[in-house]
Amino acid sequence: MLKALSGICFLHLTTIFFLFWATIDDAWWFTRNQYTDLWGRWVMENNDDVWVYMDIPTSYRRDYLQAVQAFAVLSCLFAVFSLSMFVYQLFTLGKGQRFTYSGVLQLISCFCIMVALSVYTDHFHRDEKNGWYGWSYIMAWFGWLLTLLTGVIYIILRKRVD
């Protein structure tokens, strides 16, 4: 039981780590001399090793960008709520019962990051050929996968005799 517990906790912490990094680091979209998104844009002009931090240009659809920001932040929050709910339920749940609330919160977090990723993929950089998705974007997808996995595990898992 302890092994399963520590394994789940580790998985959950990895999830939180991925989600936070994806939300905070501005590395969703890369081009040759800039990496950008969600909060700001790093641009290297003149190829001279100086990175300049600029605001996201006004050509972006502001409301969609803010929606992506909001849902990314919400997914981080729900993942943290789910972890604290899991710890709480660990001590208060009766034997043989399921960690439903933690699972539900984790699945809400999964839903939020899925919404964020879908809106981002669909509305930004659709026609830009000379760029590629960065590590934050990929980490967000891994975060989605892990939240889905851990959410389902929590819903299926039963508390056993220690």
Partner 1 sequence: MEEEEWNNKGGPGAGPGSGVWLGINGYPAPRAPRPHSLHSSVSPALLSSLILLVSAPALAARRGRQTEAMLTLLVLTAAVLLGAAPRSDAIVIYTGWERHALVGSDVRLSCSFFSWRWTSEDVTFSWSYRPDGARDSISIFHYTGGAPYVDNKGPFRERLEFVGNPARRDGSILIRNLDFNDNGTFTCDAKNPPDIVGRPSSVRLLVFEKVPIQAGVITGAIIGVVLGLLILVVAIYYLMRFLVARRVFNLSVSKHGKKGKGKEGSQQRQAGPSK
Binding site for partner 1 (CB under 8 A): 27, 30, 32-33, 35, 42, 44, 47, 49-55, 58, 62-63, 66-67, 69-71, 73-74, 77, 134
Q: Which is nearer to partner 1, 57 or 96 (CB)?
A: 57
Determine the distance from the C-alpha atom of residue 55 to the mean position of all C-alpha atoms in its chain, rounded to a whole number.
Answer: 22
Q: Cβ of residue 10: shortest distance to partner 1, in angstroms?
A: 26
Give bridge partners of residue 36 from the DSSP assignment: 29, 41
Q: Which residues contact 25 (CB under 8 A, 6 or more apart)?
A: 135, 136
Contact 72, 116 (CB under 8 A): yes
Q: CA 109, CA 115: separation in Å to the nearest integer?
A: 10
Residue among 119 and 155 whose Cβ is closer to partner 1: 119
Q: Quote the tokens at residue 113.
A: 């990051």
Measured from the CB atom, the residue of 19 and 74 that comes closer to partner 1 is 74
> Residue 161 CB, nearest distance to partner 1 (Å)?
28
Q: Which is nearer to partner 1, 134 or 143 (CB)?
A: 134
